[in-house]
Amino acid sequence: MTPDQYCEQKTAGSGSSFYYSFLFLDADARRAMTILYAFCREVDDVVDECSDPGVARVKLAWWRDEIARSFAGAPQHPVGKALQWATGRYNLPQEHFLEIIDGMEMDLDCNAYRSFKELSLYCYRVASVVGLMAAEIFGYEDRRTLKYAHDLGMAFQLTNILRDVGEDAARGRVYIPEDEMERFGVTRDDILHHTMNDAMRALLQHQAERARQYYAQAFSHLPESDRYSQRSGIIMAEVYQALLQSIEDSGFDVFAQRARLSPARKMWIAWQTARREKRHHLARTA
């Protein structure tokens, strides 16, 4: 199996909503995004699958060394080998990969966040940094597009946090800011024990509203000149906003089951969005 084949298998097998947006990229960009996503999956799996935090730290330290080896031209892992091509083809700073690993390590150091300001650092490292690298791969002319990419990454991560409240609680993790829990009259134990009541729904509604604000804020920064080149991110946003809507439509019942969109639904949204953005681009450039 080649490094690229390994990354493709890792990405397709994850069932991620992002996979559907990759289908509308040109060959090089699709290859680079697949490699980037495979890296993110590798380091995320370290934290989620290692029951011993000490072992997880050792593995994350190994990945820091692997990133250094990849940039130095001597990687060992299939993803590290694939990254050599991606970082040579696109402006993907070594520091960004290390930031992502730092974000994953935060899950070993912290299972609660006092405020949204504290949570924002985590979201930046595990999601906004990925968005910034994706923007580089997609291509842009206006630097305001980087602000769009940052905020869109925040929106994606806030949606993930809302979707995964129940699963994270099973791991003893709560990503909802504690000061907001206090404001709505919800305790950490309420979340850990899957207590669903009006106060919990109001708290989760507040999280959904923040995510929607970040989606709106992101698109307010996206220049028209870069909209078509960034269409893959727009496809991701449409899929994720549909997921957010499904969570709201369920009455925020995030404890009973993990909200999902079917592969057919995601593919339909991706195709519709790609067609819409192409029409918009052709009309703009006519």
**pLDDT tens figures, 127-183:** 999 999 999 999 999 999 999 999 999 999 999 999 999 999 988 899 999 999 999
Residue with the two structure tokens 């947006």: 21
Give me the pLDDT at residue 207, please. Answer: 98
**pLDDT tens figures, 191-242:** 999 999 999 999 999 999 999 999 999 999 999 999 999 999 999 999 999 9
CB burial readout 142-167, b (16+ within 10 A) else e: eeebbbbbbbbbbbbbbbbbbbbbbe
Report the predicted TM-score, pTM, of the whole model to 2 decimal places: 0.93
Give me the pLDDT at residue 14, please. Answer: 57
Please answer whether residues 29 and 2 qualify as being in contact, where contact means their C-beta atoms are separated by less than 8 angstroms.
Answer: no
Reply yes or no on whether the pLDDT at 66 is more than 90. yes
3-state helix, strand, coil in the chain (%, to 5): 75, 0, 25
Quote the CA–CA distance of 70 and 68 in Å, as a whole number. 5
Nearest to 52 by CA among 40, 60, 64: 60
Quote the CA–CA distance of 27 and 4 in Å, as a whole number. 12
Give me the pLDDT at residue 18, please. Answer: 76
Nearest to 250 by CA among 210, 191, 196: 196
Domains, the chain, ordered by start: 1-107 (1.10.600.10), 110-277 (1.10.600.10)
> What is the Cα Rg of the chain in Å?
19
Residue type, 138: F
Give me the pLDDT at residue 15, please. Answer: 60
In degrees and rounded to multiples of 5, residue 240 shows phi and psi of -70, -35
Nearest to 12 by CA among 38, 48, 50, 30: 38
In degrees and rounded to multiples of 5, residue 9 shows phi and psi of -65, -40
Q: Which tokens is 213 given?
A: 């604000």
Long-range contacts of 220-225 (CB under 8 A, 24+ apart): 221/144, 221/145, 221/147, 221/148, 221/151, 222/144, 222/145, 222/148, 223/141, 223/142, 223/144, 223/145, 224/284, 225/141, 225/142
What string of DSSP letters covers 120-160? HHHHIIIIIHHHHHHHHHH--SSTHHHHHHHHHHHHHHHHH
